[in-house]
Amino acid sequence: MDQGNKSFNTDSIPEPESSLARVRAIFEPTSVAVIGASQRRGSVGLAVFKNLLDGAFSGVIYPVNVRAHSICGVRAYPSLTAIGDPVDLAIIIVPAAQVTQVAREAGENGVKGLIVITAGFREIGEVGLAMEDELKAVCQEYGMSLVGPNCLGVINTDSRFSMNASFARRPPLSGNIGFISQSGALCTAVLDYAARKNIGFSKFISVGNKADIDELALLRYLHEDPETKVIMMYVEDLRHGFEFIDTVRDITGGDNPTPIVAVKSGRTAAGAAAVSSHTGSLAGSEAVYDALFQQSGIYRAQTISHLFDYAVAFATQPLPKSNRVAIITNAGGPGIIATDITMNVGLTLAKFSQDTTDVLRSALPATANVHNPVDVIGDAGVDRYRAAYEAVLKDENVDGVIFILTPQSMTDIYATAQIIPALAQKSGKPVLTSFMGELDVRDAIDFLERSHMPHYHFPEMAARAMGAMYRHFKWISRQHLAELEVAPDRTQARLVIEKALASGKTYLGEVEGNKILAAYGFPVLPSRLVGSAEEAAVAVRELGCSVFKIASPQIVHKSDVGGVRVGIDTEDGAREAYDDILRVVKGNAPEAVIEGVFVQQMAGKGVEVILGINRYKVFGPLLMFGLGGIFVEIFKDVSFRLAPIRHNAARRMVRSIQAYPMLDGARGGEPCDTDELERCLIFLSTLATENPEIAELDINPLFVHAKGKGCSVADCRILLDIDRMN
């Protein structure tokens, strides 16, 4: 597909290879200077230096301090220049006002990477922002990469480096999760929590203000990193749009995929001025981020605790190859809850083979449930659990197991935990556990976590995590649909847009809107703009059964002022409707300048849907699809994607609304022409991508006719706004 001019800013994005090298300069140094290292208790300068020492960094460490002779017993240097030997990485902890100067000195001495821990930059306002820009300029001048400013630092647990370049209180265990956080404070809490749960990290990074190295560069790096199996992200804002999607979907779903789980706090608005369109009022920064994550194949967690819950499953378990789950429990209630959630997240309960059922029947008491969820009954000892667990793991109809235990008086908790890891590993299937309770199950949970078996306090969370893994499996094994042809008449569309802008017109109704849509391939209905009752009669004679609509730049919602008449099919009826519509509208909207009456052929039967565009700075145009009509704002049953989209995304957009069965022939209805609808979404995407002046657009309704009969655009409005262009 021709994606035209992508409407985002690409100046600051380095080429993938150099981007990797730039991140390596941060994580993989052989010598580090800590500028602002200090002996003073409670200082960040001491914490960072001590962490490097205690972490047994594999290279050389140089403390730099103007006054001190030594820090923690290591000889100190008065300046970076005074070190004399080459330094790869400088960690900067000096006051904000001195940072740029120090950075310059680092550049002069051939330093390749900077971690600026010092705060007091863009987060404090204009003065800080100016300093940050200056710092960035210095880094660019010397080709240094920069993490921060205003960050907690970075940690690389890879034994070849063993670098804890942070002031975190507690060093992480080494493991295979890469963690990227936009909040430094959260990092320390996460490390504390992770330590308790035996969760280890490969790389850990607090990005701070992201003056240079940001999530995108880090994701590329972590994807290449053999130590990192899954990436966890805490995000407050992202500053890339489509290129983020383009890169990240390869990371999560290309060759050698790395799953990414992210939590996004709702702190920042994407900053669109929503005006009169339906799309404008439904879209918002949440919709933008949801789309961004969806399209990138990032699994979005709702809370920080879920972030861990998913990441641990990805980090330790193989993916389920399909969605058939077996649940084993010794209590009915938890089994039922796990079953409910299992079904809710797109999984299903496995139907066991005859062999499995036979084994279960012989191993379990008569009161046990030998079907899924398997209930081994409250008095089950290890043997019953083992028999059931072994049997279901072996069953070819089972893709994953949720293992639930409640501590009852007969339960041998620890011994039951012990049977889990080895069999799970042998089976190649994911097993998630939930030993419910707190005190009695503590030792068993510790054992499971130490054995890298994901554990969840409640079984519903285990089911959610299994759902996330299955979704990822579907993502990485998805088929790519053949792309659809788009051959727009760009000149025609540009002509209409430029003419409108030249005359200061920013709101376009159906008269101009249809011309633009037609140029992009949309199926518009034949129509005429008429200025008299007689012309109206002629129009109806030519077009057949028609709809009359008031045409006025001031009237955005035509029905609200009595400006729409449907089903006009005689010439007399046309004359009458013409006079009537003018009279009613003049009464309801006396100020409006009326350009005439828009006579449009009646669309055939079909389901009314809405298609829309809402443009955001940085992210570009957000596309919307949903069920049309006047209730769209109430039901909010819509899906969003950032443009440009391809055929796969168009199809998912259509299928992800709750009302999709209505388009698919629910309740004996006729299936609609969703192929043509998908094409319309591709037209919409192309139109949005190629015409940055279009800030908002609503097509409401688009009629989707029966299969093979296409679609018809039956209303549109476009808002042009050059201030919303990137």
| DSSP one-letter code for 443 | H
Backbone φ and ψ for 220, nearest 5 degrees, come out as -60, -45
Nearest to 626 by CA among 614, 645, 640, 644: 640
Please choose, out of 228-236, 238-246, 486-494, 697-705, the segment that lies near Mg ion by the rule CB under 5 A: 697-705
Nearer to Mg ion, 55 or 612 (CB): 612
Nearer to Mg ion, 460 or 715 (CB): 715
Nearer to Mg ion, 276 or 302 (CB): 276
Please choose, out of 124-132, 441-449, 616-624, 694-702, the segment that lies near Mg ion by the rule CB under 5 A: 694-702
Nearer to Mg ion, 427 or 700 (CB): 700
**Residue with the two structure tokens 């480096």:** 161
Q: How far, CA to CA in Å, does 368 sit from each of 327, 433, 669?
A: 13, 20, 44
Residue 543 CB, nearest approach to ligand ADP (Å): 10
Nearer to ligand ADP, 110 or 567 (CB): 567
Backbone φ and ψ for 122, nearest 5 degrees, come out as -55, -20
Please choose, out of 316-324, 483-491, 600-608, 699-707, the segment that lies near Mg ion by the rule CB under 5 A: 699-707
By a kind-dependent CB cut-off of 5 to 8 A, residue 688 interacts, out of ligand ADP, Mg ion, none, with none
Residue 601 CB, nearest approach to ligand ADP (Å): 6
Among 183, 247, 700, 712, binds Mg ion (CB under 5 A): 700
By a kind-dependent CB cut-off of 5 to 8 A, residue 466 interacts, out of Mg ion, ligand ADP, none, with none
Residue 617 CB, nearest approach to ligand ADP (Å): 28
Residue 563 CB, nearest approach to Mg ion (Å): 11
Residue 545 CB, nearest approach to ligand ADP (Å): 9
Nearer to Mg ion, 546 or 700 (CB): 700
Residue 137: both structure tokens together: 């300029």
Nearer to Mg ion, 288 or 547 (CB): 547
d(C-alpha 496, C-alpha 505), whole Å:
11
Residue 353 CB, nearest approach to ligand ADP (Å): 53
Task: Return the ∠ at Cα 372 (arms to 367 and 374), rounded to 5°.
Answer: 45
Asked if residues 712 and 604 have their Cβ atoms less than 8 Å apart, the reply is: yes
In our burial notation (b when 16+ CB lie closer than 10 A, e otherwise), range 422-450 reads: ebbbebebbbbbbbbeeeebeebbbbbbe
d(C-alpha 524, C-alpha 713), whole Å:
5
Nearer to ligand ADP, 566 or 618 (CB): 566
Nearer to ligand ADP, 272 or 564 (CB): 564
By a kind-dependent CB cut-off of 5 to 8 A, residue 557 interacts, out of ligand ADP, Mg ion, none, with ligand ADP
Percent helix, strand, coil in the chain, to 5, is 40, 20, 40
**Residue with the two structure tokens 């390749």:** 112
By a kind-dependent CB cut-off of 5 to 8 A, residue 603 interacts, out of ligand ADP, Mg ion, none, with ligand ADP
By a kind-dependent CB cut-off of 5 to 8 A, residue 547 interacts, out of Mg ion, ligand ADP, none, with ligand ADP
Residue 524 CB, nearest approach to ligand ADP (Å): 10
Residue 513 CB, nearest approach to ligand ADP (Å): 11
Q: Provide the strand spans (E) within 287-397.
A: 299-301, 324-329, 348-349, 374-375
By a kind-dependent CB cut-off of 5 to 8 A, residue 559 interacts, out of Mg ion, ligand ADP, none, with ligand ADP
By a kind-dependent CB cut-off of 5 to 8 A, residue 344 interacts, out of ligand ADP, Mg ion, none, with none
> Rounded to a whole number, what is the distance in angstroms from the first to the last CA of the chain?
22
d(C-alpha 215, C-alpha 201), whole Å:
17
Nearer to Mg ion, 72 or 529 (CB): 529
Q: Provide the strand spans (E) within 182-271.
A: 200-206, 230-235, 260-264
Residue 522 CB, nearest approach to ligand ADP (Å): 13
Nearer to ligand ADP, 547 or 684 (CB): 547
Residue 615 CB, nearest approach to ligand ADP (Å): 21
Nearest to 536 by CA among 597, 595, 583: 597
**What's the number of CA atoms in the CB half-sphere (13 Å) around residue 218?**
33
Nearer to ligand ADP, 170 or 557 (CB): 557
Nearer to Mg ion, 696 or 715 (CB): 715
Please choose, out of 7-15, 38-46, 487-495, 707-715, the segment that lies near Mg ion by the rule CB under 5 A: 707-715
In our burial notation (b when 16+ CB lie closer than 10 A, e otherwise), range 245-284 reads: bebbbbbbbeeebbbbbbbbeeeeebebeeeebbbbbbbb
Number of residues that bind Mg ion (CB under 5 A): 2
By a kind-dependent CB cut-off of 5 to 8 A, residue 525 interacts, out of ligand ADP, Mg ion, none, with ligand ADP
**What's the number of CA atoms in the CB half-sphere (13 Å) around residue 148?**
30
Residue 657 CB, nearest approach to ligand ADP (Å): 18
Give the residues lining the site for ligand ADP (CB under 6 A): 525, 547, 549, 557-559, 564, 566, 600, 602-603, 608, 700-701, 714-715
d(C-alpha 152, C-alpha 326), whole Å:
43
Residue 527 CB, nearest approach to ligand ADP (Å): 8
Residue 586 CB, nearest approach to ligand ADP (Å): 17
Nearer to ligand ADP, 306 or 717 (CB): 717
Q: Maximum Cα–Cα distance for the chain, whole Å?
A: 101
By a kind-dependent CB cut-off of 5 to 8 A, residue 558 interacts, out of Mg ion, ligand ADP, none, with ligand ADP
**Crossing angle for the helix pair 674-690 and 647-655, to the nearest 10 degrees:** 120
d(C-alpha 492, C-alpha 336), whole Å:
60
Residue 610 CB, nearest approach to ligand ADP (Å): 9
Nearer to ligand ADP, 525 or 681 (CB): 525
Calculate the CA dihedral of residues 627, 632, 636, 639 and round it to 10 degrees. 40
Pairing of the two strands 163-166 and 173-181: unpaired
Sketch the per residue contact string, 187 through 216, with Mg ion: x for CB under 5 A, - otherwise: ------------------------------
Backbone φ and ψ for 138, nearest 5 degrees, come out as -65, -45
By a kind-dependent CB cut-off of 5 to 8 A, residue 225 interacts, out of Mg ion, ligand ADP, none, with none
By a kind-dependent CB cut-off of 5 to 8 A, residue 674 interacts, out of ligand ADP, Mg ion, none, with none
Nearer to ligand ADP, 365 or 544 (CB): 544
Residue 153 pairs in a beta bridge with: 166, 206
Backbone φ and ψ for 446, nearest 5 degrees, come out as -60, -45
Residue 262 pairs in a beta bridge with: 233, 300
Task: Return the ∠ at Cα 73 (arms to 80 and 110), rounded to 5°.
Answer: 20
Q: Does 715 bind Mg ion (CB under 5 A)?
A: yes
By a kind-dependent CB cut-off of 5 to 8 A, residue 478 interacts, out of Mg ion, ligand ADP, none, with none
Residue 608 CB, nearest approach to ligand ADP (Å): 6
Residue 238 CB, nearest approach to Mg ion (Å): 33
Q: Which residues contact 98 (CB under 8 A, 6 or more apart)?
A: none
Please choose, out of 184-192, 308-316, 513-521, 700-708, the segment that lies near Mg ion by the rule CB under 5 A: 700-708
- List residues near Mg ion by CB under 5 A: 700, 715
